[in-house]
């Protein structure tokens, strides 16, 4: 998009089939939900806030406000709890996270909220901004407690788009809006291939060959990821 408005967020999320998005604190997401409510419509999804983004404000404030270290320690405990299920997968992971979050994470989150309410900080100061950031997104920060399938942060997505952000700064975009769309398309396909365990180069070659053989054919990475190993080898 050429802008970062609520309308851009609506367009991006149009057709989103999930029920929850895990996001940073960018205002467009909450504004989008508000626009649904003001129109008398039920929002098609809920927002879960990222705890790493919430933590950053206190990390920034810590050199000037030593009490911020208390918050960093509390958030660190949440991540220590999460780490106990790191080696598990699928339903087993969700079941274990559900137990841990109910029994151990929930009391810590309650302690964090009490700390925020009891801490007085000058408005506009680094500590004040960090406290306000969390309180304004509190309901979204609590979502992960009742949803073991929802991650505690969105770092997976942030790491995936880091090369894009760095590249944008280095090569100043793609020279045209159409070029940017093409770049975004290929970034998405290549990242999806890697997530699906498919070699990006092999995928792009196979997708191109299929399109040449049958014009209009669209081959997505998950199509090859789901194919038998023999078929992938042949591709």
Residue with tokens 């309410």: 117
Exposure b/e, 68-79, CB count within 10 A at least 16 = b: bebbeebbeebe
Tell me which DSSP letter residue 19 carries. Answer: S
Give the model's pLDDT for residue 173.
58
Which residue ranges in the chain fall short of pLDDT 70?
Answer: 169-175, 227-235
Distance CA 102, CA 99 (A): 5
Give the model's pLDDT for residue 183.
81
Distance CA 113, CA 108 (A): 9
Q: How many Å separate Cα 75 from the centre of its chain?
A: 18
Distance CA 46, CA 18 (A): 9
Q: Which residues make beta-bridge pairs with 49?
A: 23
Q: Could you tell me which of 28, 29, 61 has the C-alpha nearest to residue 129?
A: 61
The two structure tokens encoding residue 44: 């098609």
First to last CA, the chain: 35
- Please state the pTM of the whole predicted model: 0.74
Residue with tokens 């969700």: 94
The two structure tokens encoding residue 41: 């419509």
Give the model's pLDDT for residue 154.
92
């Amino acid at each position: 998009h050429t802008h970062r408005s609520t309308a851009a967020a609506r367009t991006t999320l149009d057709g989103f089939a999930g029920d929850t998005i895990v996001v940073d604190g960018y205002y467009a997401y909450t504004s989008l939900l508000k626009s649904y409510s003001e129109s008398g419509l039920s929002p098609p999804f809920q927002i879960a806030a990222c705890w790493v983004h919430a933590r950053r404000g206190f990390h920034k404030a810590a050199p000037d406000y030593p009490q911020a270290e208390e918050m960093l320690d509390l958030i660190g405990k949440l991540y220590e709890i999460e780490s106990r299920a790191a080696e598990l997968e699928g339903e087993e992971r969700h079941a274990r996270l559900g137990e841990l979050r109910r029994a151990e994470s929930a009391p810590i989150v309650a302690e964090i909220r009490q700390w925020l309410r009891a801490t007085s900080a000058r408005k506009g100061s680094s500590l004040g901004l960090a406290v306000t950031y969390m309180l304004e997104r509190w309901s979204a920060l609590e979502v992960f407690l009742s949803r073991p399938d929802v991650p505690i942060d969105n770092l997976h997505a942030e790491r995936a788009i880091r090369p894009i952000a760095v590249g944008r700064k280095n090569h100043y975009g793609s020279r045209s809006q159409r070029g940017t769309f093409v770049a975004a398309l290929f970034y998405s396909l290549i990242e999806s291939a890697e997530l699906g365990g498919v070699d990006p180069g092999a995928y792009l070659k196979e997708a191109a060959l299929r399109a040449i053989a049958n014009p209009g054919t669209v081959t997505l990475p998950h199509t090859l990821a789901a194919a038998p190993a023999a078929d992938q080898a042949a591709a």
